[in-house]
Structure 1
């Protein structure tokens, strides 16, 4: 009797069943929305966007329409069809099979360490703004970064409910910060001051394609500001109610867009495009100028605590990708070890170690070998270079949202329509616009500097070099991991 061959992609992953057996279903709509906000909303990106003047609104809205909303739509549809731990890794398995799911999952996971460093780096930048004589040496900055990373690892290893309390608290703090920043603009105008930005001039809103003096670099930055719609769904197997999977995407997407617009508007009203040169501290100085030093101190504390929790949230969420990889034997099974809190502790240790190694190289080795920048601007430059590299790598994996969506549709239209939650024209339009936006973001982030401290000529070398380095490390690491996983499985069988 002939055997019927079932394609690999049609077979469920072992992690789908295993996760629901061993991981407690804790996450609610509020918790998922809070995690979504912490993962995506980096308020300091509003300061860099403000460097484009009124055109910042053009890019924020353009990025939302062409990239962020299509990504949220594709994420919601795929998560509704496959509500399992690992998000994009799992979705790609059911679409393209094991090889591609591992590749895409690795591209999706790889930015985690860079983002953890850059988020920690934001705390350094804010501390330097508060006290210019603090952390003047690169090694001092690196030491504080390592302390933040170690703290994040400890907190991320606690039970999910405790981590969720931290994330919820951080969201309340960022609400306070956005509120104080947001009211600073209107109060500035109501007290008789003129706006630092001429919003009435249509040319200020236009896209300027000049590579040297234009604002085309903002599209890559805005794309970064909207990356990560799938990250909370790395924990989809730990959701208490299935409706939370789609509901949090709606509320989270809405809040992220509104918060970016509010923060950017106040910066442009009080400081204008010069806010971009100052970086994240311009948020604090804006509040200090309008409301007083007490309010600025509150905003500084809120943002710094928020960014420390961002590191915890990234460490916590991305550890699930390594966890499911170990459970499915794509990575050494030992990486999926759960501690007494039912958290993948070894995965968190690995991610933290990778971030610390990057910190040691960036802050304690390179500055003392090459005279690349002043210590005062080093933290800001490393933040932007690492974030641009994140955009390049992450945009590649994000494009697979739309590839997966269209392949699922053409492979079995009847089955697709049964699980469809959006009108077909919305999915088609998103699958056309989304990948194009990913491509533009990759090109833009590679060739156009985000900050005036680094010229375009040096920017593409630094960003491209870091991206290639990360991809090379990832390739070597993935080859070692898969061979080690195969060897461990073989040992068990023998």
Structure 2
């Protein structure tokens, strides 16, 4: 064991089985990154949405893949950003970066549970009419069922993920096909996707600095490129690292463009930005039965995405337990060699936030549905800010590691150092845009953000109640991360 080698690097590979293939990694990548509902949310940009997607692919997704690929082949251990930041900056910053990457995963599980409910409600309207508190109870049940699946034998769980991943692909194909059929029947497009004049900087939603929030939205839709490497020691062959990044990135780009096009031509603009519009588009083009089928497939996929988030992010606190950054019990594995304690910790935390957002706060409010929406959106926005900040750290990590570990880099280099410098600068700036966009634009009309604005390079950055709530919770979360490290280290010294 070398001076800077983590205990988790040495022992994790002997604890966890190597079961993941390239196909598995692509399925995990798509589950983490591709929230197809974003193809509906970005409809408010009109035809310029395609321009914003392409820019975000070039300035964020591709740089993330380039940097992650190099770090992954140099240090293919468990924990991805936790490991790499430990190599670059030492134990505290490694843990802190790992926390910043882990914390969003917990609350995103609440979001995936909510989306599962939304698509089930499209098929079974009675579910959507339930009181907010009852919906919260069902989401907690979804989280528990996801955890049960996540702690089974990993190969079994991944086979389920792979099967639903294939169905997810079918659903996205149907979204595109629905648009084609809608047009072939002689119907005009709900919004003309070929109106390239809408891309003009002078257009209302054109590609210019004033509309930079659409770029921020596209960046947020592409977070999570590095997450599959949380399971670095569980990959069978090293070549899967670069292959999943290539094929997964291509799949995500094609899927977002195809689904955005399908919704745009099929669904009227006043309904296109709703998250369930991706299923409604299929109903418009191929019939109501097809729309319901796609809604069921998406409900299944978002449940499976909850499972993937659960086992992927559990690896971050699992390795922290091995390295005694957290109590050793966090590194416990069950008879199937799965970090079960870590999974259940996440599940309990996600359930607590679900109960707070869907039960406690609405119960104390005169307008339960509005209160639930406010709490839910603020929490999701706050963890988005934290996640974007962790990606900035990722881009800094690679530059430090290339200098500190020159021998390892030369032995496994994927490109010249200039490529990584360019990718890091561009990607870090894009990540920061994601942070500012989240703080500037309220995700719900129920919370204002109109106390004032600041102009930066032609972009208007707003601040107000939303800004302070989201920013405050994000800062408090970061403080908790630092405190957890201190408490964990103190606990380790007393053992």
Match for residue 258 of structure 1 among 242, 254, 257: 254
Seen in structure 2, the aligned counterparts of structure 1 residues 477 and 75 have a Cα distance that, compared at 3 Å, is: closer
Distance in 2 (CA, whole Å) between partners of 1:55 and 1:226 is 18
In structure 1, the partner of 2:71 is 78
1:55-87, Cα deviation, whole Å (9 max, x unpaired): 211111111111111011100011111110000
In structure 1, the partner of 2:265 is 269
1:333 aligns with 2:328: yes
Gaps of 5+ in 1: 1-5
The alignment of Structure 1 onto Structure 2 pairs a total of residues equal to 478
Seen in structure 2, the aligned counterparts of structure 1 residues 369 and 219 have a Cα distance that, compared at 3 Å, is: farther
In structure 2, the partner of 1:155 is 149
Distance in 2 (CA, whole Å) between partners of 1:453 and 1:54 is 27
How do 1:103-122 and structure 2 match up within 5 A?
103-122=96-115
Q: Which moved more, 1:332-341 or 1:482-491?
A: 482-491
**TM-superposed deviation, 1:372:** 5.8
1:461 aligns with 2:465: yes
Distance in 1 (CA, whole Å) between partners of 2:41 and 2:80 is 30
Seen in structure 2, the aligned counterparts of structure 1 residues 104 and 145 have a Cα distance that, compared at 3 Å, is: same
The secondary structure found in structure 1 opposite 2:306 is: helix
Distance in 2 (CA, whole Å) between partners of 1:287 and 1:382 is 31
Seen in structure 2, the aligned counterparts of structure 1 residues 200 and 322 have a Cα distance that, compared at 3 Å, is: closer
Gaps of 5+ in 2: 452-462
Q: Is the 8 A contact 2:79 2:315 kept in 1?
A: yes
Pairwise CA RMSD: 2.4
Match for residue 89 of structure 2 among 69, 83, 96: 96
How do 1:253-402 and structure 2 match up within 5 A?
253-277=249-273, 279-371=274-366, 374=369, 378=372, 384-402=377-395
**TM-superposed deviation, 1:309:** 0.5
Q: Is the 8 A contact 2:283 2:289 kept in 1?
A: yes
Match for residue 33 of structure 2 among 36, 40, 55: 40
1:185 aligns with 2:189: no
1:54 aligns with 2:58: no
Q: Which moved more, 1:383-392 or 1:315-324?
A: 383-392
Distance in 1 (CA, whole Å) between partners of 2:472 and 2:169 is 37
In structure 1, the partner of 2:457 is none
In structure 2, the partner of 1:3 is none
Distance in 2 (CA, whole Å) between partners of 1:410 and 1:72 is 20
**TM-superposed deviation, 1:428:** 2.1
In structure 1, the partner of 2:130 is 136
**TM-superposed deviation, 1:391:** 2.1
**TM-superposed deviation, 1:334:** 1.1
Q: Is the 8 A contact 1:41 1:225 kept in 2?
A: yes
Seen in structure 2, the aligned counterparts of structure 1 residues 486 and 160 have a Cα distance that, compared at 3 Å, is: same
Q: Is the 8 A contact 1:268 1:275 kept in 2?
A: no
The secondary structure found in structure 2 opposite 1:84 is: coil
Q: Is the 8 A contact 1:119 1:307 kept in 2?
A: yes
The secondary structure found in structure 2 opposite 1:143 is: helix
In structure 1, the partner of 2:198 is 204
Seen in structure 2, the aligned counterparts of structure 1 residues 373 and 257 have a Cα distance that, compared at 3 Å, is: farther
Q: Is the 8 A contact 1:388 1:463 kept in 2?
A: no
Q: Is the 8 A contact 1:209 1:216 kept in 2?
A: no
Q: Which moved more, 1:469-478 or 1:140-149?
A: 469-478
Seen in structure 2, the aligned counterparts of structure 1 residues 45 and 209 have a Cα distance that, compared at 3 Å, is: closer
**TM-superposed deviation, 1:490:** 2.6
Q: Is the 8 A contact 2:152 2:338 kept in 1?
A: yes
Seen in structure 2, the aligned counterparts of structure 1 residues 470 and 137 have a Cα distance that, compared at 3 Å, is: farther
1:15-65, Cα deviation, whole Å (9 max, x unpaired): 112111111100111111111111111111111011211121111111111
